[in-house]
Chain A
Amino acid sequence: DGGITQSPKYLFRKEGQNVTLSCEQNLNHDAMYWYRQDPGQGLRLIYYSQIVNDFQKGDIAEGYSVSREKKESFPLTVTSAQKNPTAFYLCASRRPLDSGANVLTFGAGSRLTVL
Chain B
Amino acid sequence: RKEVEQDPGPFNVPEGATVAFNCTYSNSASQSFFWYRQDCRKEPKLLMSVYSSGNEDGRFTAQLNRASQYISLLIRDSKLSDSATYLCVVNMDNQGGKLIFGQGTELSVKP
Q: Which residues of A contact B (CB under 8 A)?
A: 31, 33, 35, 41-45, 48, 50, 56, 58-59, 88, 90, 94, 97, 102-104, 106-109
Contact = CB atoms under 8 A, between A and B. Distances in A.
Interface of B: 6, 32, 34, 36, 41-46, 49, 87, 89, 91, 96-104
Contacts, number: 54
B44 to A, nearest CB: 6
A104 B41 CA distance: 18
27 contacts: A33-B99, A35-B101, A41-B103, A42-B6, A42-B101, A42-B102, A42-B103, A42-B104, A43-B44, A43-B101, A45-B99, A48-B97, A48-B99, A59-B100, A90-B44, A94-B99, A102-B32, A103-B49, A104-B34, A104-B36, A104-B46, A104-B89, A106-B43, A107-B43, A108-B43, A109-B42, A109-B43
Main secondary structure of the interface of B (DSSP, over half): strand
A106 B44 contact: yes
Given A102-B32, A103-B34, A104-B89, A90 B43 contact: yes
